[in-house]
């Protein structure tokens, strides 16, 4: 038996509300969502609730500056107490990789998908959605991330053991170490 890892190629598809429905909701303008009945400012500010954000503990909004890296997925993670969101600042595109929420120790590796976000909208994931951190297509891409402080603290190097992270709101698994598999994303 070979120890060479299996590399599965995944074709990146356009991020659309329909394609992303199993994982969460697009954060952006949606004309099909009726404005809320908020009457201040003479109708100059129309508020549309396009997604729900859920957090069971203190939430933070760090800005992460991404550089391009190989489009290879070795890790996938999920969160148990919040619906994490990614929002591009500066309209730069990014790629995100997801697998549906489940009650297993690892994501369903046959259901992993990747999506290209063009920078005009963000995304909020359902609780438990497996994902890899976004990939920049342009250096110095700033992404606003909304997540719990517990999840961020779970990623700090002192909490990482054998290339995996675990906290009460984070489970980050090393697919290479556990299943001898990685995913390569193809644009």
Taking only the tens of pLDDT, the chain with its 187 residues reads 468 999 999 999 999 999 999 999 999 988 899 999 998 998 899 999 999 899 988 999 999 999 999 999 999 999 999 999 999 999 999 999 999 999 999 999 999 999 999 999 999 999 999 999 999 999 999 999 999 998 988 888 777 888 999 888 999 999 999 999 999 999 9
Model confidence, pTM: 0.91
Q: Which residue has the tokens 């729900």?
A: 52
pLDDT of residue 153: 87
Beta bridge partners of 109: none
pLDDT of residue 159: 78
Phi/psi at 146 (5° precision): -110, 120
pLDDT of residue 2: 62
Domain 6-186 fold: Jelly Rolls (2.60.120)
Task: Kindly list the domain boundaries of the chain, sorted by start residue.
Answer: 6-186
* Element housing 96 (H / E): strand 94-99
Question: How is residue 89 written in tokens?
Answer: 């600042």
pLDDT of residue 43: 86
Which of 183, 135, 130 has the alpha carbon at shortest distance from 5? Answer: 183
- In the three-class reduction of DSSP (H, G, I as helix; E, B as strand; rest coil), residue 45 is classed as coil
């Amino acid at each position: 038996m070979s120890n060479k890892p299996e590399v599965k190629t995944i074709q990146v598809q356009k991020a659309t509300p329909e394609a992303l429905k199993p994982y969460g909701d697009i954060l952006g303008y949606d004309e099909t969502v009726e404005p809320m009945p908020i009457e201040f400012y003479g109708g100059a500010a129309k508020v549309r609730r396009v997604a729900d954000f859920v957090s069971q503990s203190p939430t933070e909004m760090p800005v992460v500056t991404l550089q391009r890296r190989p489009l290879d997925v070795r890790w996938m993670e999920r969160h148990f107490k919040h619906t994490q969101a990614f929002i591009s600042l500066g309209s730069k595109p990014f790629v995100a990789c997801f697998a549906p929420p489940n009650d297993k120790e690892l994501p369903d590796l046959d259901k992993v998908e990747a999506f290209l976000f063009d920078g005009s909208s963000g995304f909020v994931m359902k609780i438990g959605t497996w994902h890899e951190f976004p990939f920049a297509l342009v250096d110095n891409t700033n992404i606003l991330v909304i997540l719990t402080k517990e999840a961020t603290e779970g990623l700090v190097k002192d909490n990482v053991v054998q290339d995996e992270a675990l906290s009460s709101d984070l489970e980050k698994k090393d697919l290479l170490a556990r299943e001898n598999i990685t995913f390569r994303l193809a644009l």
